[in-house]
Amino acid sequence: MSKDCILCGKCLEVCPLLRATGREELSPRAKADLVRLLDGDGGELREANVARLASLCLGCKRCRAVCSQDVDVPGLVAMLRAAHPDFKQWLWKTWLSHAGTLWSAGSTAAGLIPERFRPEKFGPMLKMLAGLKGGPGLTPFLSPQKFPDTSRGEKMLLFAGCTATHVQGRWLMAALRLLDGLGIEVLPGDFGCCGASLEAGGCLDEAKAMAKHNLAVWRAAGRPKVAVFCASCRAGLLGYSDCRDEEECLLWRKSILPLSEVVKNTEFMIFDNAPEKLGYHHPCHAGDGDPDFGFLSAVLGERLAAPSGRECCGFGGLLRLAAPEVAEDVNRRCWDALTGPEVIVTGCSACVAQLAATAPEGTAVGHWLELIG
Ligand code: SF4
Ligand code: SF4
């Protein structure tokens, strides 16, 4: 990881925090500068200020993608968070490390709190928790009619991610049905969390342990392809660096496939209950050539509205806990770009949670897998 920021300012154009707040001190450049200061004597910086600044990042990695010096600002922020742990980080770590026991129960408990009793500050957070289990979800209107033979007989692992494994079983079932239709044998593999959110929150040891576990699962299965249907999980998996050697790292990265890529030549029938227009939210972690958008465009044609911008949803893990008002500023811009269609789909579990919790009245949000009946 390079720390050699040349202060060129290229990252200023893409940072959702800076775009939403106009506060230069939240920019990637300012964070890189902060790290440089701390590498020296730390100047006048107090511990609490460092911890506060380190918590103000969405971990979207947009800055890294445009940086000519390969400065990994979210990686540096994660290291700062690791060096300055606080209660919010502990909460985040506990929430992610015990997803199996906490998510379903937490979602049920949050759903029991009447809206009028939800403190205003935590309203969106509680709504997001309550919505984790997903309510009725989107009404399916796509039915696979003809599967290509190109993958028939192949063996693959499926990385479902924490949300589908613990609270959104219908995504997992839809993915399994698609893979079955393609004639792909899904190998057993007990993957854990991808670790990306843990890393972004500064829980570096826990993130490393998850990566180690997932790589071991992949090796035990004979290092096959791995289908993934969450953009953030995919980015997390692609970021693993603890393979045995460079050759294995290359093979690992090559084996990680978006599910939408695996199913892309399937023919679907569109039922009459399909909405006239659907909106699409580009997850930050999907990168430039978002494969889910390409797949959905091919299936839905003009029904899928061209996005009017690629705004971040404002989830960003710790930011929701550390500075909900800043997360809301980012989220507002996202809805300004999405407003129009009454159904919004995306391919990232964190974006679904965030957008479903903040959607305007009458707008439904879901993973694209929910469209498939
Ligand atoms: S982090 Fe990279 S893009 Fe941003 S100011 Fe520094 S060198 Fe430029
Ligand atoms: S990771 Fe995203 S939110 Fe954080 S500094 Fe970079 S662009 Fe801004």
- CB of 29 closer than 6 angstroms to any ligand 2 atom: no
Calculate mean pLDDT across residues 138-149. Answer: 96
Cβ atoms within 10 Å of 83's Cβ, excluding its own: 14
What's the gap in Å between 12 CA and the centre of ligand 1?
A: 8
Amino acid (one-letter) located at 16: P
Instruction: Supply 61's token pair.
Output: 């990695």
What's the gap in Å between 14 CA and the centre of ligand 1?
A: 11
Chain segment 195-251, per-residue pLDDT in tens: 998 888 888 999 999 999 999 999 999 999 999 999 999 999 999 998 999 999 999
Q: Could you say which DSSP state residue 71 is in? A: B
Task: Say how far apart CA 11 and CA 76 lie, in whole Å.
Answer: 15
Domain contains 216: no
Where residue 273 sits, what CATH number does that domain have?
3.40.50
Q: What are phi and psi of 126, to 5 degrees?
A: -65, -35
Spacing of C-alpha 31 from chain mean position: 22
What's the gap in Å between 351 CA and the centre of ligand 1?
A: 26
Amino acid (one-letter) located at 233: C
Domain contains 308: yes
> What pairing do the DSSP bridges indicate for beta strands 279-280 and 343-346?
parallel
CA nearest neighbour of 335 among 365, 358, 361, 303:
358
Quick one: pLDDT band at residue 103, thresholds 50, 70, 90? low
β partners of residue 156: 186, 225
Quick one: pLDDT band at residue 117, thresholds 50, 70, 90? low
What pLDDT, on a 0 to 100 scale, did the predictor assign at position 127? 64
CA nearest neighbour of 181 among 299, 257, 255, 267:
267
Task: Say how far apart CA 311 and CA 351 lie, in whole Å.
Answer: 11
Q: Mean pLDDT: which of 107-111, 117-121, 172-176, 302-306 is highest?
A: 172-176
What's the gap in Å between 63 CA and the centre of ligand 2?
A: 6
What pLDDT, on a 0 to 100 scale, did the predictor assign at position 226? 98
What pLDDT, on a 0 to 100 scale, did the predictor assign at position 315? 84
Min mean pLDDT across 53-67, 75-89, 242-256 is at 75-89
DSSP character string of 227-253: EE--HHHHHHHHT---SSSHHHHHHHH
Question: Edge-to-edge, what's the strand order for the sheet holding 256-258?
Answer: 185-186, 155-159, 225-228, 256-258
Question: Could you tell me which residue, 197 or 130, shows the higher pLDDT?
Answer: 197
Calculate mean pLDDT across residues 80-94. Answer: 73
Chain segment 257-297, per-residue pLDDT in tens: 999 999 999 999 999 999 999 999 999 999 888 999 999 99
Domain finish residue from 64, 84, 104? 84
Rg (the chain; Cα; Å) = 20
Among protein residues, the one whose CA lies closest to atom 4 of ligand 1: 11
Residue 301: pLDDT over 60: yes
Among protein residues, the one whose CA lies closest to atom 8 of ligand 2: 15
Domain contains 78: yes
What's the gap in Å between 66 CA and the centre of ligand 1?
A: 8
Instruction: Supply 19's token pair.
Output: 């775009």
- CB of 236 closer than 6 angstroms to any ligand 2 atom: no
Chain segment 155-192, per-residue pLDDT in tens: 999 999 999 998 899 999 999 999 999 999 999 999 99
Domain contains 224: no
Sort 361 into a burial class: Cβ within 10 Å, 0-12 / 13-18 / 19+: exposed
Domain finish residue from 84, 104, 135? 84
Domain contains 211: no
Domain contains 248: no
Residue 126: pLDDT over 80: no
Calculate mean pLDDT across residues 18-38. Answer: 88
Calculate mean pLDDT across residues 139-159. Answer: 97
What pLDDT, on a 0 to 100 scale, did the predictor assign at position 97? 74
What pLDDT, on a 0 to 100 scale, did the predictor assign at position 45? 58
DSSP character string of 166-234: HT-HHHHHHHHHHHHHTTPEEPP------SHHHHHTT-HHHHHHHHHHHHHHHHHTTS-EEEE--HHHH
Ligand 1 pocket test, candidate residues 37, 67, 70, 73, most atoms within 8 A of CB: 67
Domain contains 180: no
Chain segment 336-351, per-residue pLDDT in tens: 999 889 999 999 999 9
Asked if residues 198 and 96 have their Cβ atoms less than 8 Å apart, the reply is yes
Buried b vs exposed e over 174-206: b needs ≥16 C-beta within 10 Å? bbeebbeebebeebebebbbbbbbbbbbbbbeb
Task: Say how far apart CA 274 and CA 294 lie, in whole Å.
Answer: 19
Instruction: Supply 159's token pair.
Output: 């990385």
What's the gap in Å between 32 CA and the centre of ligand 2?
A: 11
- CB of 20 closer than 6 angstroms to any ligand 2 atom: no
Asked if residues 107 and 125 have their Cβ atoms less than 8 Å apart, the reply is no
CA nearest neighbour of 34 among 10, 66, 56:
56
Domain count, the chain: 2
Among protein residues, the one whose CA lies closest to atom 7 of ligand 2: 15
Amino acid (one-letter) located at 277: K
Residue 105: pLDDT over 90: no
What pLDDT, on a 0 to 100 scale, did the predictor assign at position 266? 97
Residue 72 is part of which domain span?
A: 10-84
- CB of 62 closer than 6 angstroms to any ligand 2 atom: yes
- 151-155 contact pairs (CB < 8 A, 24+): 151/182, 151/183, 151/184, 151/262, 152/182, 152/183, 152/184, 153/183, 153/185, 154/183, 154/184, 154/185, 154/225, 155/184, 155/185, 155/186, 155/187, 155/222, 155/224
Domain contains 162: no
What pLDDT, on a 0 to 100 scale, did the predictor assign at position 119? 59
Domain finish residue from 28, 51, 84? 84
- CB of 15 closer than 6 angstroms to any ligand 2 atom: yes
Helix (H) or strand (E) holding 87: helix 87-97
Residue 41: pLDDT over 70: no
